[in-house]
């Protein structure tokens, strides 16, 4: 017989974490390292979107796509290679084995840290009481909500005919023709992977270009590279409906009236995400939410209720795994580590789009810099073909760009499109954060021949 609320068992902790994704796990581990008694509630697999339906499986598929592209270049360079054939199911098996190892590592680390891991959901009864879906009440000095987000399906006729980004990871092979609706990170990444692994991909974006928040000049070059790889781009083409055509799906949009679109085997929506804030007892506890359902937090990740905190995608802040991790760690350093002013600085956070080629960016785009600093902005660019593509006579081009401000030409933006941009950017991001100037780049001897040397050679 289920226990009544008045007789439900109570357990005391210093911290209860609701959500076992990247932010929740980081918070639990850091709090435990400071000696806090921690309970972590997660009904599904550990790692959240990043490990299970995001960064990790996406990068696995991107690596396979990159190998396919390189094998094609190898053939152009004279290697006697037949067109590469991928056993998709073998790749997926390796991908899932890798993810399984991450799950096992989390379980082991939680045990070693002494975190009480509970496979259930949680909801707030008040600022210091969490009730689990099993009826157990947990009393805590602090509660951390880190429940992440999920893909948003647009409200248009026929939307049920399309999948969302999560459904990409259920594919057992590359569909022949794929339509992707959206113009952001996820759309660009899925388009590149599917095209490289054998699909014919078309992207439908509402705006005049992809990746509207990134530097326009760099994105323009990425779009040219995507077209060269075979991706068909429909810009300024807002989709207003999907229709079934037998076993296939037709995309109805308001752009390019003279350019008919064939029906697709698969349509995927990459039209944004929404926070997982329902069913958490937020209203009952008095936790304020925004108009999109995001939990409103201040610069210290505190909600409107003392003792309740939130990090990651559920807050509507920058939706990046390392951001959630860093925010959670600094929060725990403040709550349990004696660092009263610890908080994450959200300025100048580097990020990478795993497109083909990759696009890495940190700091201000040229447009944002000019809006903020006007005529004090000076821009340097270097457009080139990376050596491998030049050798194979491939038209893919890279574009590196520096955005500088003032007489000292302090670097306020670094934008890299090209092979290994993801690996190159990390070190330069540290330098930008520390006040890098273009003169300091000029004073650094280049490593030759590399793509990275272009960052220090721009004139």
* Active site amino acids: 448
CA-wise closest residue to 40 among 98, 100, 106:
106
C-alpha distances (whole Å) from 328 to each of 241, 333, 368, 390 are 40, 9, 28, 44
Q: What size, in residues, is the chain? A: 459
**Where do the H-state alpha helices sit in 169-280?**
185-196, 216-228
For residues 356 and 69, is the Cβ–Cβ distance under 8 A? yes
Cis before residue 449, ω within 30 degrees of 0? Answer: yes
Cis before residue 337, ω within 30 degrees of 0? Answer: no
The phi and psi torsions of 240 (rounded to 5 degrees) equal -115, -5
For residues 282 and 244, is the Cβ–Cβ distance under 8 A? no
Give 252's DSSP letter: E
Round to the nearest angstrom and report the end-to-end CA distance of the chain.
Answer: 76
Pairing of strands 351-353, 359-363: antiparallel
3-state secondary structure of 179: strand
Work out the burial of residue 90: count CB atoms within 10 Å of its CB; fewer than 13 is exposed, 13-18 middle, 19 or more buried: exposed
Quote the radius of gyration of the chain (alpha carbons, Å).
24
> Would you state the structure tokens that stand for residue 300, as one six-digit string?
């210290």
C-alpha distances (whole Å) from 88 to each of 63, 145, 257 are 13, 37, 36
Beta strand spans in 276-338 (E): 308-310
The span from the CA of 426 to the CA of 147, in Å, is 28
Number of Cβ within a 10 Å radius of residue 459: 6
Query: Which residues is 268 bridged to in the sheet?
Result: 163, 180
């Amino acid at each position: 017989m289920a226990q009544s609320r008045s007789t439900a068992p109570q357990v005391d902790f210093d911290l209860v974490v609701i959500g076992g994704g990247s932010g929740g796990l980081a918070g639990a581990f850091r709090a435990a390292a400071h000696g806090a008694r921690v309970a972590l509630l997660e009904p599904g697999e550990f790692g959240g979107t990043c490990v299970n339906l995001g960064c990790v499986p996406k990068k696995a598929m991107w690596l396979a796509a990159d190998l396919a592209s390189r094998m094609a270049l190898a053939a152009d360079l004279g290697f006697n290679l037949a067109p590469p054939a991928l056993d998709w199911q073998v790749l997926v098996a390796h991908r899932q084995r890798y993810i399984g190892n991450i799950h096992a590592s989390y379980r082991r680390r939680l045990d070693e840290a002494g975190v009480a891991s509970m496979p259930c959901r949680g909801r707030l009864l008040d600022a210091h009481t969490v009730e689990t879906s099993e009826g157990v009440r947990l009393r805590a000095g602090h509660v951390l909500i880190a429940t992440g987000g999920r893909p948003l399906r647009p409200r248009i006729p026929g939307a049920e005919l399309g999948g969302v980004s999560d459904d990409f990871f259920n594919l057992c092979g590359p569909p022949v023709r794929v339509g992707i609706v959206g113009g952001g990170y996820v759309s660009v990444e899925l388009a590149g992977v599917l095209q490289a692994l054998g699909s014919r991909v078309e992207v439908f974006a509402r705006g005049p270009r992809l990746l509207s928040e990134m530097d326009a000049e760099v994105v323009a070059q990425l779009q040219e590279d995507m077209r060269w790889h075979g991706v068909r781009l429909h810009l300024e083409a807002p989709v207003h409906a999907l229709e079934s055509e037998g076993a296939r799906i037709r995309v109805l949009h308001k752009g390019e009236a003279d350019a008919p679109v064939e029906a697709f085997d698969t349509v995927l929506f990459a039209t944004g995400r929404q926070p997982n804030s329902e069913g958490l007892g937020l209203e009952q506890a008095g936790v304020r939410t925004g108009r999109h359902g995001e939990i409103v937090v201040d610069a210290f990740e505190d909600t409107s209720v003392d003792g309740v905190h939130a990090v990651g995608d559920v807050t509507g802040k920058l939706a990046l795994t390392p951001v959630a991790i860093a925010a959670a760690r600094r929060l725990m350093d403040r709550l349990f580590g004696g660092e009263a002013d610890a908080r994450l600085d959200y300025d100048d956070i580097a990020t990478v789009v795993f497109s083909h080629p990759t696009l890495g960016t940190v700091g201000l785009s040229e447009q944002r810099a000019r809006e903020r600093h006007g005529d004090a902005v000076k821009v340097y660019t270097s457009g080139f073909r990376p050596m491998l593509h030049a050798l194979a006579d491939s038209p893919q081009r890279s574009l590196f760009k520096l955005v500088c401000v003032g007489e000292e030409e302090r670097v306020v933006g670094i934008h890299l499109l090209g092979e290994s941009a993801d690996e190159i950017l990390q070190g330069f991001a540290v330098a930008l954060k520390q006040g890098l100037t273009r003169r300091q780049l000029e004073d650094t001897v280049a490593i030759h021949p590399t793509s990275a040397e272009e960052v220090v050679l721009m004139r």
